[in-house]
């Protein structure tokens, strides 16, 4: 058994001063404080001093990092991505596809499913763990496709969804879809029935089509504002509906590039700490110098923090820890509240049980943070030796 202590612990819903966090194997067994308990006999104590303990981050929308794309044919491509995520506090993630030729997408889904299955049985103390696939495209709008190749977009049909499902061996956990497309409601209903979090995005939908999709089972929105029909005061469309419907959670790229800081503040006021989620939408360029990198089947260019293709934004180079600190800066939120958007909320949205919170029975995925949100250490599956550098 290992006992962790620090100045503060955020569950993240509760704050505990002088915490005592007990880990046994890959699970949390007790969350208490020095004032009410003592270190069990035989347990190894690791003291992180003035730091803050928090749950590991969960990124439900990421395309790559460290020079590698998650759809790459190279089976070793995920390792450097996962190591980069680990360094920035992400302990669980959803590798995200981008629209590509059908056979390429099917092959990528098969490879990603294998990585998820392998990660479930092998401990990876220095890497984030893939926990499901986010299928972004090809069921998206031509009008709001962003950089997704138009020639590879497909109409949503149950038959095509079934091919994706079989290729992924049931590992699709999130799916972005444009609700206004013909056939979308049937696919939304079936995907929801299978436990997929259906997320509305890359869409030109009006309010009626958005509401119909929610009634069919959609319950989330992908990178709100980006690749969406713009908000109009007489035509609220998908954005207005997402911001005001309490049945819908929504995510945002809080890099200050995709969405202005003032709009980040507006979004958080609209969705609140219960329904707002942070994503990175990070590409292979994340953690790399300016240059050219792959995003699925095409190339993107990065310069001065902007990732583009054909003059359009194409994902980001954002890391989750930076996103949390940006929320603190843009909206004036405290660390405890901002952490929820990167841990508890995405885990709930994606149906990840035992992730995103520090409670007995949950995964021993723990962050050691400075009071301002910088990552000092990351613990995956209770591997404190690697995180703390202690024997």
| Residues with active-site annotation | 281
**What are φ and ψ of residue 29, in 5° steps?**
-110, -20
272 conformational bin, left if phi > 0, alpha if psi -120 to 50, beta if neither? left
**Taking the CB of residue 330, how many other CB atoms lie within 10 A of it?**
20
- DSSP bridge pairs for 368: 53, 377
Q: Give the C-alpha distances (Å, rounded to integers) separating 47 from 10, 181, 239, 368.
A: 16, 54, 46, 11
Residues paired with 306 in a beta bridge: 303
Report CA-CA distances (Å) from 178 to 14, 173, 233.
37, 17, 22
Rounded Cα–Cα distance for residues 5 and 37 (Å): 12
Helix ranges (H only) for 131-220 are 158-167, 184-193, 207-216
């Amino acid at each position: 058994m290992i006992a962790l202590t620090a100045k503060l612990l955020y569950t993240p819903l509760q704050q505990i001063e002088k915490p005592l966090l007990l880990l046994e194997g890959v699970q949390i067994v007790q969350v208490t404080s020095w004032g009410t308990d003592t270190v069990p006999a035989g347990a190894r104590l690791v003291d992180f001093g003035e730091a803050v303990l928090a749950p590991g981050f969960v990124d439900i929308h990421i395309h790559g990092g460290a020079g590698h794309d998650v759809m790459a044919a190279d089976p070793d491509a995920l390792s450097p991505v996962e190591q980069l995520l680990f360094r920035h506090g992400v302990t669980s993630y959803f590798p995200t596809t981008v629209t590509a030729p059908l056979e390429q997408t099917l092959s990528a889904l098969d490879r990603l499913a294998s990585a998820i299955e392998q990660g479930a049985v092998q401990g990876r103390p220095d890497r984030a763990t893939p926990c499901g696939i986010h299928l972004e495209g090809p069921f998206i709008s031509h009008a709001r496709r962003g950089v997704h190749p138009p020639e590879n977009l497909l109409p949503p049909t149950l038959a095509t969804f079934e091919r994706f499902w079989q290729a992924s061996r049931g590992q699709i956990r999130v799916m972005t879809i444009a609700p206004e497309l013909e056939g979308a409601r049937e696919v939304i209903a079936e995907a929801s029935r299978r436990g997929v979090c259906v997320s509305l995005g890359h869409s030109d939908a009006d309010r009626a089509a958005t509401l119909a999709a929610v009634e069919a089972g959609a319950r989330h929105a992908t990178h709100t504002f980006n690749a969406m029909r713009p908000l109009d005061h007489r035509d609220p469309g998908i954005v207005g509906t997402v911001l005001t419907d309490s049945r819908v959670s929504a995510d945002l790229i809080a890099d200050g590039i995709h969405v202005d800081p003032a709009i980040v503040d507006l979004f958080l006021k609209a969705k609140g700490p219960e329904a707002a989620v942070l994503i990175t939408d990070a590409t292979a360029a994340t953690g790399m110098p300016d240059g050219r990198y792959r995003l699925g089947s095409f190339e993107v260019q990065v310069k001065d923090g902007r990732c583009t293709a054909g003059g359009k934004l194409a994902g980001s180079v954002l890391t989750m820890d930076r996103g949390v600190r940006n929320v603190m800066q843009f909206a004036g939120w405290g660390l405890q509240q901002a952490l929820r958007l990167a841990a508890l909320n995405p885990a709930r949205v994606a149906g990840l049980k035992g992730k995103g919170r520090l409670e007995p029975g949950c995964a021993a995925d723990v962050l050691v943070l400075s009071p301002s949100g910088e990552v000092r250490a990351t613990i995956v599956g209770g591997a404190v030796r690697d995180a703390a550098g202690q024997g």
